Amino acid sequence: MLNLVKNESVKLLKRPSTYIMIALIVVGTILFGFLTQWLHSNSKNDSNNDWKQGLQQDIELYEQEYENTNEEWYKNWMESQIAINQYRIENDIPPSYVDYSMWSFIDESSLMITFVGLFVIIIASGIVANEYSRGTIKMLLVKPYKRWKILLSKYITVILSLLFLLAILFITAAITGALFFGLGDTNAVYLTYENGQVIEQSLLLYLIKLYVLSSVSTLLLATMAFMISAVFRTSGLAVGISIFLLLVGPIITSNLANHFEWTKYTLFANTDLMQYLEGTVLMDGMTLEFSLVILAIHLILFLAISFYLFNKRDVSA
């Protein structure tokens, strides 16, 4: 099994397209660093010295809004913001924009996870389909491994490539952030609002969690792409559908969520696990456990279809 995964990794690492992906992530992050620095140097003048005053103003703004809105999730979100801002003022913990450092940059670079998602979907769409289009599937399936083992090794390789690209993004962001903005406070904390209380967390731990949890939707979509390419044996369709959903899925879902109760059972209502970290949920009655169950059901369904068809079908490519 290990050797199967090794073979798959070799095949990926010998392709120029893999290096283009890695290069795009690295270059993209560095450009993002330049952009961020430029924006900061422009806004240096509006002094952040009196950040406590700024937060106090925000609190007052939220309190007014709170009275005027009926949206439940908005109220919850403002409640958490008010609590966190008050905690900062009381405990003298400035928000990240005051002392912009490597940590803040890693945090903002998590936006780039969408890119990682894009690339992993392309990998997942091709890893089975390309064997068919090259005809090499015939050489692969006559090796002394049952078909499910061969497919599993490919799926494991997809997950490894997701973790690998995430690590590259994280490390590039850390290095770029350190060079542009300095190391910052190594003991920095991250504040969340859970069950009516503000909680301090290690910032590094929070950022790793942020990266991993932000990749959940990527993992699910990559698995879906994997399934589509195992079913149709071509990568184009899998790339198209999955990337479309990656980009517009969350938007459609949040629109639907305002109108239909059943939205909460859909994939995209549950892929954003950050909502539980930040304590603001999309819809009432949604919990971390609920989302995990829905995600697991989707994942199992995608994999079951992939393995069933891959095992059963005749290969006459």
Partner 1 sequence: MKPIIELRNVSKKIRNKQIIDNLSFKVMAGEVLGFLGPNGAGKTTTIRMITGLMKVSSGEIIINGTNLKQDFEKAISQIGAIVENPELYKFLTGYENLMQAARLYKGVTKEKINQVVEMVGLKDHIHNKVKTYSLGMRQRLGIALCLLHDPKVLILDEPTNGLDPAGIKEIRHYLRKLAHENNLAILVSSHLLSEMEMMCDRIAIIQNGKLVNIQRVKEEEVKTRPYFIQVDKITSALNILQDAGYEANPHEHGIEVYLEKKQVPEIIQQFVQQNILIYEVKVISKSLEDRFLEITNDKAVTSHA
Binding site for partner 1 (CB under 8 A): 3-4, 6-7, 10-11, 14-15, 134-139, 141-146, 314-316
For partner 1, the closer CB: 68 or 316:
316
Place of tokens 């109760």: 261
**Rounded Cα–Cα distance for residues 94 and 85 (Å):** 9
Residue 129 beta carbon to partner 1: minimum distance, rounded to whole angstroms: 14
For partner 1, the closer CB: 14 or 44:
14
Residue 3 beta carbon to partner 1: minimum distance, rounded to whole angstroms: 4
Residue 314 beta carbon to partner 1: minimum distance, rounded to whole angstroms: 4
**Rounded Cα–Cα distance for residues 175 and 189 (Å):** 20
**CB neighbour list of residue 289: distance below 8 Å, 6 or more residues apart:** none
106 residue type, one letter: I
For partner 1, the closer CB: 52 or 147:
147
Residue 10 beta carbon to partner 1: minimum distance, rounded to whole angstroms: 7
For partner 1, the closer CB: 160 or 241:
160
For partner 1, the closer CB: 55 or 152:
152
Residue 235 beta carbon to partner 1: minimum distance, rounded to whole angstroms: 16
Residue 79, token pair as written in the block: 């409640």
Distances (CA, A) of 307 to 138, 199, 210, 312: 17, 43, 31, 8
DSSP alpha helix (H) spans, 93-136: 102-109, 113-134
CB atoms within 10 A of CB 256: 15
